[in-house]
Amino acid sequence: MSTRYLSNALIALLAGAVVVLSMGLSSATAIGWIAFGVAIGVLGVSVLVQLDTRRGAVQRALDAGLVAVGGTLLAAGVVFGGTTMIWLVFALALGLVGLAFTGMTLHEVETWRAARQLGRLHWLTPEVELRHEVELRHETPEAGPRAA
């Protein structure tokens, strides 16, 4: 299983828990601390998965969005209080779920297209196809004499 899918699934589950807890708990302080902890987890996962060299440009852009929303969630859980904090945490956690779900969907679409050997989808090229193109470029003889 891909780190792209696993990281997005983990973030979606954590953020989904925050969405539910932000509307289910009555203590704003508890919601703030839960949001703070989940935001640190989201930031940690998003930064750690950058070590995977197979992440494409689209997934890296989604990761940047996850870091931005996670950082905002971290600040909202600490700075604000009361009803403002509860609604901000709710909205930001929904944003995290949306970004993570988008990443999972794009991963599945790419995997499906690669498994069926379908053509390119402009910006969503399967990683296997990209590697094959690079190999072909290096194997084709260049015009002109070659040094022996």
The pLDDT of residue 1 is 72
The pLDDT of residue 109 is 85
DSSP assignment of 34-80 equals HHHHHHHHHHHHHHHGGG-TT--HHHHHHHHHHHHHHHHHHHHHHH-
Whether the model clears a pTM of 0.75, i.e. scores above it, the answer is yes
Phi, psi of 119 (to 5 degrees): -65, 180
How far apart are alpha carbons 33 and 52 in whole angstroms?
30
Q: Tokens at residue 137, please?
A: 């470029």
**Cα distances (Å, whole numbers) of residue 57 to 27, 61, 110, 118, 126:** 40, 6, 13, 20, 12
How far apart are alpha carbons 96 and 67 in whole angstroms?
9
Per-residue pLDDT tens, the chain, 148 aa: give them. 788 899 999 999 999 999 999 999 999 999 999 999 999 999 999 999 999 888 888 899 999 999 999 999 999 989 998 999 999 999 999 999 999 999 999 988 888 877 877 766 555 655 656 666 666 666 655 555 555 4
Tokens 């599945």 -> residue: 108
